Amino acid sequence: MNVQFYPGERRDIVAAWGLLSVAFTFFIIRASPYTLIPRPTVPLSYLATVFGSTLATVGVGFLAHELAHKLTAVRFGQDAVFRADYTMLGLAVVGGLAGFLFAAPGAVHHRGYITPREHGLIAVAGPVVNLALVVGFFPLLFAGGVLGATGQLGVTINGLLAGFNMIPFGPLDGATVRRQWGTAGFAAVFIVCAGTAVASLLFVGFPF
């Protein structure tokens, strides 16, 4: 399979990965015990640990999600390109600083003839990859230390990414799946993704 990256696409992917990781780093630090003390006393080692963990979990979860859309679209003969939304990325960083977060870093746009089944598969590919990452990060939960914390964040973030993107609203993947596959097909995927999101949040949670 010949996967083509269009001018500016690699830049958009790297920028979205980095800025989204920065936004989540700010958000996590705001929610951590260090928010109870003056910001200059936040240890740099803690900041580096959180940023490294978000790059490996939030960043990888986002990157794998979008590349899954792109690769699946290309597999079905589509022209597909990721474009970052720098306005939303900027709002994500500001929101992380303020203690809240809504992440919509961009999207894969594709064109060409496809069947409803193929269109649904392109949409569902992102959440399915996030489910696979939940499984991949899960063994790290038992490692302890920074590695265990990274596994915990990886499970929770990817579980939430899978569940959130399957909401049948607006431009989210769930809306596309429901339109292409109908309510029954959508419900089968949604139950798995939403169930994983709830279980990840309730039984694993955030480490920082």
pLDDT tens digits, one per residue of 71-129: 999 999 999 999 999 999 999 999 998 888 888 899 999 999 999 999 999 999 999 99
State the pLDDT at residue 36: 42
Instruction: Answer yes or no: is 142 within a domain.
Output: yes
CB atoms within 10 A of CB 40: 5
Judge whether 118 counts as a catalytic residue: no
Report whether 129 contacts 161 (CB < 8 A). Answer: no
Instruction: Answer yes or no: is 199 within a domain.
Output: yes
The DSSP H or E segment spanning 151 is helix 145-165
State the pLDDT at residue 48: 86
Q: pTM for the whole thing?
A: 0.90
The DSSP H or E segment spanning 108 is strand 106-111
> For the residues 17-44, what does the mean pLDDT come to?
75
Instruction: Answer yes or no: is 1 within a domain.
Output: no
Per the residue annotation, which of 28, 57, 66, 69 is the catalytic one? 66
pLDDT of 188 strictly over 70: yes
**Looking at the 3D structure of the chain, how many domains does it have?**
1
Nearest in space to 194 (alpha carbons), one of 133, 131, 136, 103: 131
Report whether 58 contacts 130 (CB < 8 A). Answer: no
pLDDT grade for 33, boundaries at 50, 70 and 90: low
State the pLDDT at residue 167: 95
State the pLDDT at residue 155: 96
pLDDT of 63 strictly over 70: yes
State the pLDDT at residue 123: 97
Which 3 state secondary structure label does DSSP give 5? Answer: coil
Report the mean per-residue pLDDT for the chain: 91
State the pLDDT at residue 99: 83
CA distance 176 to 161: 16
Select the more confidently predicted residue: 148 or 35. Answer: 148
CA dihedral 175, 135, 56, 152 (to 10 degrees): 100
Instruction: Answer yes or no: is 135 within a domain.
Output: yes
| Residue-number span of the structural domain to which 165 is assigned | 9-203
Instruction: Answer yes or no: is 111 within a domain.
Output: yes
pLDDT of 184 strictly over 60: yes
Instruction: Answer yes or no: is 3 within a domain.
Output: no
Tabulate helix, strand, coil % of the chain (nearest 5). 75, 5, 20
